[in-house]
Amino acid sequence: MQNKSVLSMGNAVLALRLVIGWTYFSAFWRRLILENKLDPEAAGYIGEKFNHFLPNALFIKPLIQYLVENPEALLWNMWIFTIVEGVVGLLLMLG
């Protein structure tokens, strides 16, 4: 009986890991592979969303404001965040 519950729990954790990993990795995939949203000159540049988010940012407003005022820092942070998101997603899926 205990082996069956351990197996069920293992399957549940595996499913959760795969879903969360795919969520992270697919964000990386969409941002970098499907269309380059990290190009400041492109129409779908991800940094534009920071402008829309700024008025609603509660605790991180100074950080968001700094990034909006310094586009080069925003671009670097978006690249780093995207790469980390892809790596974490892959590692979660691979176990």
pLDDT of 39 > 90? The answer is no
Which pLDDT tens digit goes with each residue over 43-90?
888 888 887 888 888 888 888 889 889 999 999 999 999 999 999 999
Global confidence as pTM: 0.78
pLDDT tens across 11-36, in order? 899 999 999 999 999 999 988 888 88
Domain regions of the chain by residue span: 2-94
Q: What is the DSSP string of 24-87?
A: HHHHHIIIIIIS-TT-TTSTT-TTHHHHHHGGG-STTHHHHHHHHH-HHHHHHHHHHHHHHHHH
